Structures are given as structure tokens and as C-alpha cells.
Chain A
């Protein structure tokens, strides 16, 4: 192999695929990154067996070839080089790659590319999804996925493609986030898969520089998903199992409803959470309608045992009964942070009934958060 590319392109590519490098693995080669010539470009790839990332960068190919080298070492080295041309050369059947850049010359020992775990080619029906919408949808649901493995399906995001929309849902047992996204084209057949939240978080990171639509492909037996971006591909193993039917968990009715500014609600929740840091995290929310045409108000309060307390207040449009409900302050912050400003409605039917949060300007998102049972 003999290829030449720009330092900044190689550094960027290694940064992208580096996220899929195995951290502690029993299979040593998974801490390596694959470097290979591929149809006139340089392909970089890494996999931790759950996720595989591939990235193509431009370069001059003098001689084809492939090798894997320790990702961390190569990344640190390339990142430290000046922004000039890098030449990578590998003698046939050699296990050492030689890098030259400006006045630096290095050799790095590697392992045979043939031993690198094959990255599955995912083939099947392909769906095009708007990159900006996808990013928003992932952001609005991914934090609700479970982080412990006690129920593996809950560590994933449920993706349902039906008609002309795709629905993302995540639930960790305490809260549920559901987001619909419009598709450009109708699909013929309903499809449902569970994508690991970790994979979608990685995808979200990659989407920051993406403007073209993302191509999403499931394989025929629904074990893998491929997200193809410009010059980058992410393949993830799907989670097998059945995602719980969450439709009945979204209350159809409410007894009390308050509409507030997201920014104010978030700010007061953050302040209260400072006082809820004794570990309980309990933030008490009350709201009631105003009398004689005066605006309604919402209070957000917290106390730290033996230390102190705080109560904040904001204007609210309140309908229905006065309400009181306590939440884990972090859960409230999590959802308010992913709503892009505007106004939000908090609906509930009682202190031990779910709180439902809906952005007012956008009916494609709903968040259900269970309250904390507290003494009032």
C-alpha cells in the first residue's frame, strides 16, 4: 500500500471512526482501526462488534493495500502532526506501516486486515430521512432510554416505520418519549426495529455536519441497521425482542393543564434542583388558575433536608383543577432541555398520575414522566 492524504482529513476520519473502537475488549484487533484502499479513496473503519463505523477520505492511491493498527496510537500521532501531506506505505505482506509527514517519520506495528471482524453489508429496502429532523428526533427521545441492562429492549429506541412517518420511542420504566417524523415517501409495509440508544447517540454526533438525507437500511432478518451519510456509514446490531406497547401509557385525558414558557420552566427547575441535591431529587410543582382574569401561576419548589429550601414562581395559563405533582428534577430538566424553546403544556390528573409534557407549537412530540410519590 502506498497512499497520500491530507493530515486534517486523516485526523478527522480517525476521529469519526474512533468512537467505535472497542475500549476493553477480549478481541485485541477491535482496538485497531482498519486502513484500506477502496475504489480510489481511503477507507477507515472500526468496530466494537455492537457498532461499526466506516469513513472514506480522499487521497492519492499509488498502490492498493490494507492493514489494521492500534487506533489510539495512530490517532494521537496524526493529531499531533502539522497540516501537511501524510504518506502511508506498507510493504506487501508486512505488518508495519510507515507514515511520513513533513519531517516526521514513524512506523507502527499492526495486525493483518484479513483478521479484522467483517463489517456486515446491510442490504434491503432503503428509507431516506431528513438529517435535521432525524437529529431532532434522536435528541428528543434518546435520553429516555434505560441505561441499565436489566431489560435490554429498554436500552434501545423503538423505531416504527408506517405509512409516511417514522416514530421514535424510548422508555426507561419511569418516563417515555415519543416523537413522530414525516417521511418524504410512503412505505409499503410497516416495519419495527429496536436500535441501541448508544448507536443513535453516535449517529446524532455524526449528523451535525450532515445536510443530505440519511439513508436507513435494515437487513432482511432485522438484525442489523445501516445508516449511510455522506462519506460515513454506521452499522449497528439491532436489539432483539419486543418493545412494550406504550400507546396505553400516554394518557388520553387530563384534569389539570398548565401552559408555560419552556425557558422559564427549565430555569426554575434548575434552581430547585440545586436544593434537591441531597439525593432525593424531589422537585414539587403546583399550579392553579388565576382569579378574576389574573394569570395563573406555577410554583416549583425543593428542599434539602436539614439545609434549606427554595420556591420559584412563573406565570402559567392554567385550565382545570389546581394541581400538585412531584418529579425527579433531573427528569424534568432532561425533557425541557430538548424542547427548542417556545411554550409547553404540563398535563396531569393527580399527584400519583403521570405528568404529560407536550410542546405547544409542535404536536409530533409527547413526553410522559412518572411523578415521585411524596408526602405533601
Chain B
């Protein structure tokens, strides 16, 4: 299973590395979102730096949607999905591989966004261990739930519009947990953030478990 996961993750990341879509389109989009928030919320630094945790995670959610759509579009052409189904790879491995590749891209995007937030919103970075743990747990949750709902919407005519409405309400706990945890790390009391980090870990584990179990059935459907 893990070998299959590594194969799939390697394949997806190679595709991204060669097509450069994440670096040339999604990452600039992430920065664009930060700029738009700045414009919308009046570049009065008070508001932006106070709201930076939430804005950061909203930007991550938007980027995650793009990355998830992308992860399933690359297989839409040339019967890639059928090939994947016929490959004999463990469906659980495929799920973990795709989620892993999405997670790696999200982490890269989070680094870009973090730099953007620090530079543009004037945020002082404190509580680094909590920040890193939150990013890890939230990213795992986003990638796992995203992959599960992504495959549900894959191959449909309305996938671009359907995925956000299916996925975003489900990700509300991740947004809440990650934002609260970041607020605690950046200027709050770090100890307040760890329970939220726990919520994120639980969410990620639940969706990893569901995805590992259900992905086989879902692959047959799409």
C-alpha cells in the first residue's frame, strides 16, 4: 500500500514539476488573494495583521480547491483514470498517494503564503512549534478530505462548481481549528492553541481512515 502511495505521489508531483501549474498559476493566485484581501480590508495594517490567521487559512482553502481539482483533472485526459483503475494498484495506496501529493503542494503554497502574510500584513512570527504542527495537521486534513470529495466530483460535467459546495462546509472545522491555533501562536497564549491542533489531528485521522476504506468503491464510480 505504501509503495503504491509513493508511486502515485511521485507521479503526481512529477506531473506538477514538469507542467509547473502549481508554481506558475496556483502560487501567484495565492499571492493575488492576499493582495485582494489587502485591498478589500483597507490596507490599514491594524485590521490585516489582526485578521491575518483567518485570511491565511481562507487563502489556503482556495488554493487547496485549485490543487484538488488539478489533481483529478490531470487524470481526466487520455483515459488516465481508467488506466489507474486497471493498474492493479491498491485503492488505499492511490488515495494516500494523491492526498500526499496534494499535501506536498499545499505545504509549498503555505510557505509562500506565510512569507506573503509576514511581508504584506506585518505579522510577527512567534510560537513556531505550534505554527508548524498546525500547518502539518491542517494540511493532512485538507488533503485527505479534499482527495475524498475530489474523487466524488471527478469526471462530472459540473465538477468545478460542485466541489466547492461539497467540500468547503466540510472543511469548516479545519478553518476554525487552524485559525484559532494560529491566533494562539501569533501573539496569543500558545497553550490555548494546542487543543485546536488536536482537533485538526483528529479530523485528519478520521478522513484518512474514511478515504483509505472508501476509495476503492469511489474509484469504480468515477
Do the two chains bind? no
Which chain A residues have a beta carbon within 8 Å of chain B's beta carbons? none
Which chain B residues have a beta carbon within 8 Å of chain A's beta carbons? none
